[in-house]
């Protein structure tokens, strides 16, 4: 029997073999992901639990080669931050709009307060800098920030031991960070005597009143100054984007283009943002029923004007201005809307279509079929992963992260590192890649898969590296101190920001919950935030501050280490 089981013994004792390393990683990730699905007090921790299963397994003696763990950790971190950048990139710059600007200013209160608390403890001599950075990143539940800080620290001191202690502080403070975030929501709720249902209704009213969406409206021309004017002239008159897709003359529906002339009494079908409708009514004429432009004809007719949403998958039309494609002349259709990365907008002559865009085309059935062939609309092509472009972006990100940035008075140059470099490149590619013929499209499921895999590899590597140090810290008392410090770093800034958001920002409770959760990139607590506020608006506000928060959290740890390096050394 022992001989029959000898292979199993070898598998778990030959610690330098590839099979041993692979099975340990697989067990850590499997057990962590499985436990992460469990709901505890309304919270699911997801793949984050992999960190703790790695700690336990390494404490039991199942460790992996130090150099292997270092490579897997850094590679997993690169995959994670790059795919996050691709996801949040389109919304990164949009988050600085009016409402987003207020939310991000409130988020900065949290970040600055976190920094001030860490500096206070550091200059008071309460703990070494690297431990405080680890505790801070654990308190704000920000894994990419930990990875970036560890890499910067290792580059500066050349010794990985302090990076291991940093990770131990992160692991000890993480539970306190989660508890502090939940406690902050409860304190704000009861401090202001919040009625959750009333706040939910108020949030919904604000959302409906303040959200601009693309809509369509039929207007009957009554302005005599528009007589014999072309569609192009009318569009150039207004300082905002809108599209006139169809025109009704004496009951006949026609496809409108830039040269189509307008006469008083014509009915125009207009695609515009709903907050611009009043200005269009003032310029053109009164609203009327749009039923005459129904996409379902009352009688079968091959020339009936209708609309269809198709996906851009044909490389021949990608990354070119609409004005150069001559869509109407070549295909007999108009493009009225573009959906890209979940954001819908009205295109103009300078809009460049990108692979994966979902466009609304308007025309008769025959011409729409021609357009479908020209633009692709291939579901299969959408599912094909663009591996070359993915690793081109990662390569550029690594190169960017390695560039030293000298700062006067700082002993060593600052680097974006393996976390910051790929993150910045991914954000830029997802926003501007179409201008340089770089395909950044990744399906949502593929992005999530790569992101979660990268995060799982990173957390497993961290856990397997810090297990003994983590339990030693708990045994000696430092672990409990770190956990308490994590609660302070979490709770104090969140309460300051939460009270400011309520008293000055006039935010509703669901909005505050989303703001606080996003300020700590607290994805594990997001379901709880939505549940306690009984509103999905918490998730929307979380998304509004998440991109800039992620960037700030990654950079803050690195900057603190570099700026204080001389004193810490």
Which of 98, 89, 107 shows the shortest CA–CA distance to 428?
Answer: 89
- Hey, how many other C-beta atoms are within 10 angstroms of the C-beta on 302? 9
End-to-end CA distance of the chain: 57
Interatomic CA distance for residues 284 and 264, integer angstroms = 9
Residue 184 burial (C-beta neighbours within 10 Å; 0-12, 13-18, 19+): buried
Residue 5 has a pLDDT of 66
Reading the block at residue 339, the tokens are 């959906």
Residues 6+ apart with CB under 8 A from 4: none
Tokens 């009352």 correspond to what residue?
298
Reading the block at residue 192, the tokens are 């202001």
433 touches 82 (CB < 8 A): no
Residue 299 has a pLDDT of 45
Residues 6+ apart with CB under 8 A from 503: none
Interatomic CA distance for residues 170 and 45, integer angstroms = 16
Residue 450 has a pLDDT of 83
pLDDT along the chain (569 residues), means of 10: 64 76 89 81 68 84 83 84 73 60 88 90 82 85 75 72 78 75 86 81 61 72 87 78 80 80 87 79 84 57 67 79 77 78 72 80 80 82 75 88 70 66 80 61 73 84 76 69 83 92 86 85 64 70 74 80 64
Sketch the domain layout of the chain as residue ranges.
Answer: 5-201+385-564, 212-293, 314-375
Residue 390 burial (C-beta neighbours within 10 Å; 0-12, 13-18, 19+): buried
Residue 540 has a pLDDT of 65
In this structure, what DSSP letter does residue 218 have? E
Q: What is the Cα Rg of the chain in Å?
A: 28
Domain 314-375 fold is Alpha-Beta Plaits (3.30.70)
Domains 212-293 and 314-375 in one fold? yes
Residue 439 has a pLDDT of 60
Per DSSP, the three-state class of 482 is: helix
Q: Does domain 212-293 have CATH number 3.30.70.1450?
A: yes
Interatomic CA distance for residues 137 and 445, integer angstroms = 28
């Amino acid at each position: 029997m022992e001989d029959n089981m000898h292979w199993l013994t070898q598998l778990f004792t030959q610690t330098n073999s590839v099979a041993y390393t692979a099975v340990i990683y697989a067990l850590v990730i499997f057990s962590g992901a499985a436990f992460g699905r469990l709901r505890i007090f309304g919270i699911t921790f997801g793949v984050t639990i992999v960190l703790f299963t790695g700690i336990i397994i390494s404490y039991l003696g199942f460790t992996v080669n130090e150099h292997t763990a270092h490579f897997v950790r850094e590679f997993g971190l690169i995959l994670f931050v790059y795919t996050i950048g691709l996801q949040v990139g389109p919304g990164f710059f949009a988050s600085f709009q009016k409402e987003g600007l207020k939310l991000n200013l409130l988020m900065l209160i949290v970040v600055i307060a976190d920094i001030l608390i860490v500096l206070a403890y550091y200059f008071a001599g309460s703990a070494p800098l690297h431990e405080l950075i680890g505790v801070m990143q654990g308190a704000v539940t920000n894994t990419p920030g930990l990875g970036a800080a560890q890499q910067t620290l290792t580059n500066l001191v050349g010794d990985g031991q302090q990076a291991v202690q940093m990770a131990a502080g992160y692991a000890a403070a993480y539970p306190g960070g989660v508890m502090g975030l939940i406690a902050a929501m409860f304190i704000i709720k009861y401090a202001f005597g919040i009625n959750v249902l009333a706040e939910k209704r108020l949030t919904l009213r604000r959302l409906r009143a303040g959200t601009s969406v693309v809509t369509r409206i039929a207007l009957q021309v009554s302005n005599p100054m528009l007589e014999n004017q072309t569609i192009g002239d009318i569009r150039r008159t207004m300082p905002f984007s809108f599209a006139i897709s169809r025109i009704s003359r004496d009951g006949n529906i026609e496809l409108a283009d830039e040269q189509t002339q307008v006469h008083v009494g014509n009915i125009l079908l207009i695609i515009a943002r709903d907050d611009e409708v009043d200005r269009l009514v003032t310029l053109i004429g009164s609203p009327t029923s749009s039923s005459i432009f129904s996409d379902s004809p009352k009688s079968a007719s091959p020339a009936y004007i209708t609309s269809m949403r198709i996906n851009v998958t044909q490389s021949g039309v990608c990354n070119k201005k609409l004005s150069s494609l001559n869509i109407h002349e070549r295909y007999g259709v108009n493009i009225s809307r573009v959906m890209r990365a979940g954001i819908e907008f009205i295109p103009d002559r300078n809009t460049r279509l990108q692979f994966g865009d979902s466009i609304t085309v308007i025309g008769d059935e025959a011409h729409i079929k021609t357009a479908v062939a020209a633009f692709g609309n291939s579901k299969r092509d959408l599912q094909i992963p663009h591996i070359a472009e993915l690793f081109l972006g990662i390569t550029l990100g690594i190169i960017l992260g390695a560039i030293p940035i000298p700062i006067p008075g700082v002993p060593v140059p600052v680097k974006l590192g393996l976390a910051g470099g790929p993150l910045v490149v991914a954000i830029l590619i997802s926003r501007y890649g179409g201008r340089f013929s770089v395909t950044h499209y990744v399906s949502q499921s593929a992005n999530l898969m790569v992101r979660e895999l990268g995060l799982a590899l990173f957390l497993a590597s961290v856990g397997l590296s810090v297990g003994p140090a983590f339990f030693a810290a708990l045994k000696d008392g430092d672990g409990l101190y770190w956990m308490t410090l994590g609660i302070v770093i979490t709770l104090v800034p969140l309460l300051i920001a939460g009270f400011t958001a309520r008293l000055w920002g006039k935010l509703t409770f669901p909005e505050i919950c989303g703001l606080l959760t996003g300020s700590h990139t607290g994805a594990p607590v997001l379901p709880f935030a939505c549940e306690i506020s009984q509103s999905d608006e918490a998730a929307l506000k979380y998304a509004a501050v998440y991109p800039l928060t992620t960037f700030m959290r990654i950079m803050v740890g690195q900057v603190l280490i570099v700026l204080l390096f001389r004193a810490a050394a």
